């Protein structure tokens, strides 16, 4: 029976948790045989080459997240990579003493935690701590009250992430706004980024040698991995993707009229960069016209789109369709 699949974010969290829980560090063998996400696939006295490559990629991932992962070489075993030890110094990982959160900030952090799947440390993470202790490794259980098992609502996210790890081309059906039929896209996935609360794929089209950004919610089929690999550089892909989306966001400015004291005024007025004028006109940036039009239409009479004309027409079309659908 195959081992149950452990989500990437749970494996990375378990790795960070384990490396925080030891002063002397862990060897690669200890990590692969005990930590949640690795131990399920670890083969005692067998070939673990694929698992070791996964660990190397995970090290890069958590370092990119700003986690201070250290590699320690025992003086008496210099040059032996199998005996390298890995750890995360708590003093470098924890918040400085001069940083504190107000009651309001703590509330916001609590709300952010609601997107996590559990209310306490996951069973797998607890089991990893127990196994480390059983090896005779002294651990200090971190003060954590929830496990970072974020639910990614877009089904395409995990298959795309796996394709990025394998560096293979993928194809999927993509439905653009206003079109009735989808088109098949074949791309090299380079980065997954979140912008304005939505996930996007930054990819390269090998047929045209151009970079494109796709909204995951518009992928209307499963993600199919191909056997074709790619060697495009991905070092700056995330930064390039976010820069492109930010440029689009900056260039799209909507002028709205909102009813004071309404839900629309409160929610839209709190947007980054929003400017409220004395006459209840509101300037708001947006990235995707169709998604923004859907949102404005949902407020009903609380908001009126003034410009740009394309946005105003899109909102009117949605409201007109709603009236027709309800007689």
Indicate the pLDDT class of residue 206, thresholds 50, 70 and 90: very high
Check for a shared fold between 157-241 and 252-325: no
**For residue 92, pLDDT beyond 50:** yes
Determine which of 151-155, 182-186, 249-253, 273-277 has the lowest per-residue pLDDT on average. Answer: 151-155
With bands split at pLDDT 50, 70 and 90, how would you rate the model's confidence at 236? confident
CATH fold group of domain 157-241 = SH3 type barrels. (2.30.30)
Tokens, residue 258: 């909102």
Q: How far apart are CA 11 and CA 19, in angstroms?
A: 12
Say how far apart CA 261 and CA 272 lie, in whole Å: 19
Q: Is the peptide bond before 59 cis (omega within 30 degrees of 0)?
A: no
- Residues in the chain, total: 327
Which residue in this structure is represented by tokens 């394309």? 310
- The pLDDT assigned to 258 comes to 95
| Architecture of the domain made up of 252-325 | 2-Layer Sandwich (3.30)
Tokens 């862990």 belong to residue:
26
**Average pLDDT, integer, range 117-125:** 46
Q: What is the pTM of this model?
A: 0.56
Q: What pLDDT, on the 0 to 100 scale, is given for residue 120?
A: 42
The Cα–Cα gap between 103 and 107 comes to 6
What single DSSP character describes residue 4? P
Give CA–CA dist 202/213, Å, rounded.
Answer: 5
pLDDT band at 64 (very low <50, low <70, confident <90, very high): confident
Cα separation, 283 vs 102, whole angstroms: 30
200 neighbors 194 (Cβ within 8 angstroms): yes
Q: Where are the domains of the chain?
A: 8-134, 157-241, 252-325
Question: Cα(first)–Cα(last) distance of the chain, in Å?
Answer: 55
pLDDT (0 to 100) of residue 117: 42
């Amino acid at each position: 029976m195959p081992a149950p699949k452990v989500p990437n974010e749970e494996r990375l969290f378990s790795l960070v948790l384990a490396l925080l829980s030891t002063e002397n560090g862990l060897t690669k063998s200890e990590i692969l045989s005990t930590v949640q996400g690795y131990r399920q696939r670890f083969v005692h006295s067998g070939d673990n080459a694929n698992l070791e490559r996964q660990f190397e990629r995970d090290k890069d991932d958590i370092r990119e997240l700003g986690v201070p992962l250290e590699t320690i070489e025992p003086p008496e075993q210099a040059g032996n990579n199998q005996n390298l030890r890995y750890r995360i110094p708590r003093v470098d990982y924890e918040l400085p003493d001069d940083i504190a959160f107000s009651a309001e900030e703590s509330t916001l952090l609590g709300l952010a935690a609601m997107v996590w799947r559990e209310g306490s440390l996951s069973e797998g993470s607890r089991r990893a701590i127990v196994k480390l202790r059983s090896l005779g490794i002294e651990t200090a259980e971190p003060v954590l009250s929830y496990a970072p098992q974020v639910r990614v609502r877009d089904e395409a996210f995990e298959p795309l992430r796996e394709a990025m790890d394998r560096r293979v081309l993928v194809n999927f059906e993509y439905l653009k706004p206003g079109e009735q039929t989808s088109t098949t896209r074949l791309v090299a996935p380079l980065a997954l980024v979140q912008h304005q609360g939505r996930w996007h794929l930054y990819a390269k089209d090998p047929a045209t040698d151009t970079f494109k950004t796709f909204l995951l919610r518009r992928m209307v089929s499963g993600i199919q991995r191909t056997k074709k690999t790619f060697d495009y550089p991905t070092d700056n892909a995330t930064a390039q993707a976010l820069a492109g989306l930010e440029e689009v966001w900056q260039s799209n400015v909507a002028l709205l009229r909102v009813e004071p004291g309404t839900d629309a005024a409160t929610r839209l007025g709190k947007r980054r960069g929003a400017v409220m004028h004395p006459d209840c006109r509101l300037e708001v940036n947006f990235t995707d016209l169709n998604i923004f039009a859907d949102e404005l239409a949902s407020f009903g009479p609380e908001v009126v789109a003034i410009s740009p004309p394309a946005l105003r027409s899109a909102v009117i079309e949605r409201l007109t369709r709603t009236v027709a659908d309800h007689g």
